Amino acid sequence: MPRPVVWIPRRLSEATLARARRDYDVILKDDDSPGTADEIVAMSARADAMIPCHSERFGADVVARLDPRLKIVANHSVGTDHCDLPALRSRGIAVTNTPGVLSDATAELAMMLMLGAARHAVTGDRIVRSGGWDFWSPAFLVGKQVTGARLGIVGMGGVGRSLARKARGFDMEIHYHNRRRLPPDEEAGAIFHADLDSLLTVSDFLSLHCPATPATEGLMNADRLARLPRGAILVNAARGSLVDETALLAAIKSGHLAAAGLDCFVTEPGGNPTFAGHENIMMMPHVGSATVRTRDAMGFKALDNLDAFFAGRRPPDLL
């Protein structure tokens, strides 16, 4: 019996590729660039399965053109806003993701962004790196202290809870907004806000960890940013669409927000060039899960889903 054919459009971890080649006939894209709509459609006639990343878009127009050979899309990501799930399901194509394995890595990056934004990391690095550090003063690069501050978390899934655990090490007071209140043992003393606006008013730091949906697009708009205490810091290591970038820039310019730490943007790749002139906006290129351990775990989870599917079992992360 021939082995299933799997198309992998991006350069996954070496451990993932080795395991995939062991168990499947793998077609690997020659260059590590996003698979285009035409490439996805063309490969659907050659592959039984795909392991795409968030960079491959499965909109309704693409799904309508897919060859019947394609049976499963095993995403190498937690987020699935790049997939039109109803359209894929209507074609009988199974869709999976990789939850539960990237929470710590993403929370670590959110913590880095929070600390870096609070303590002028971008400016400090530039001054030292350029050879411009030629004086000291008690008023030099005075930042905002994290220890003991109130941290508001929007979305208490795996990443939000991981960030809360790490922030407790800084003696932060944890507040959160979620679709539903967590059980007491998972709250671990965090204060629940059923209303987002209530959370915003007490958040010295606000970190976003909710999914991108039509309901959350532009969640942090001018009105909501204004509800944060003056001098607050916003962190976004979730999805760029959660933030109205024009409103964010205005809040930075006015001084209402002291700083921001961003790992994601409305336009990716590329980001927002207007942010570059503001060193109190610390930026990373959407690499929250980019650790060796997590990349291996994501790849193996995608393969676990394929293994189950082709063995006739329900994939553990079927959406």
**Residues with active-site annotation:** 239, 268, 286
CA atoms within 13 A on the CB side of 137: 7
Q: For the sheet with 72-74, list strands across it.
A: 25-28, 5-8, 49-50, 72-74, 94-96
The phi, psi pair for 69, rounded to 5°, reads -60, -35
Tell me the CA end-to-end span of the chain in Å, nearest whole number: 28
Beta strands 281-283 and 257-262 are: parallel
From CA 309, how far away is CA 318, in angstroms rounded? 9
Check: CB of residue 8 under 8 Å from CB of residue 27. Answer: yes
Angle value at C-alpha 167, between 129 and 253, nearest 5 degrees: 55
